[in-house]
């Protein structure tokens, strides 16, 4: 079953703007990860945040985690057309033995 729920389902912005995607989950986690998928391709890992971390940065990416609200957000700053893709959060669940993916956000960055 899918644990994570993401919003928005689709997001369209202009190049240079920031994009924020949110993810909520239901059970306890060890870590939460964000992945990117270009259309018809496999997934690429973006960033992992552990349950004892609140914020993490990687280049233009900023991820926050609020375990009390069971939610996370992914911020992409200064977006580029090449950022157009689907973005998924994934949680490892209570036992950390598999990843369950959220519904995903389809991001379109217009140039």
Partner 1 sequence: GAVVSQHPSRVICKSGTSVKIECRSLDFQATTMFWYRQFPKKSLMLMATSNEGSKATYEQGVEKDKFLINHASLTLSTLTVTSAHPEDSSFYICSAWTVGPRSTGELFFGEGSRLTVL
Triad 32, 37, 40: Cα angle to 5°: 145
Question: Closer to partner 1 at the Cβ: 8 or 16?
Answer: 8
Question: Closer to partner 1 at the Cβ: 1 or 52?
Answer: 1
Question: Closer to partner 1 at the Cβ: 2 or 111?
Answer: 2
Name the minimum Å distance from CB 88 to partner 1.
6
Name the minimum Å distance from CB 16 to partner 1.
26
The β-bridge partners of 47 are 34
How is residue 96 written in tokens? 């950390």
> In degrees rounded to 5, what are phi and psi of residue 82?
-70, -10
Question: Closer to partner 1 at the Cβ: 41 or 54?
Answer: 41
| DSSP 8-state assignment for residue 78 | S
Is residue 64 within 8 A of residue 13, CB to CB? The reply is no
Name the minimum Å distance from CB 106 to partner 1.
7
Spatial separation of the C-alpha atoms in residues 40 and 86, rounded to whole Å: 10
Contacts with partner 1 by CB under 8 A lie at 1-2, 31, 33, 35, 40-45, 48, 88, 90, 92, 97-104, 106
């Amino acid at each position: 079953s899918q644990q994570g729920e993401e919003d928005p389902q689709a997001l369209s912005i202009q190049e240079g703007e920031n994009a924020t995607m949110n993810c909520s989950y239901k059970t306890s986690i060890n870590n939460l990860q964000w992945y990117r998928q270009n259309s018809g391709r496999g997934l690429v890992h973006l960033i992992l945040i552990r349950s004892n971390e609140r914020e993490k940065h990687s280049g233009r990416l900023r991820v926050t985690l609020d375990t009390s609200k069971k939610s996370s957000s992914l911020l992409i700053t200064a977006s580029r057309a090449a950022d157009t893709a689907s973005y998924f959060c994934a949680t490892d669940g209570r036992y950390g033995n598999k990843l369950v993916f959220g519904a995903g956000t389809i991001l379109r960055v217009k140039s």
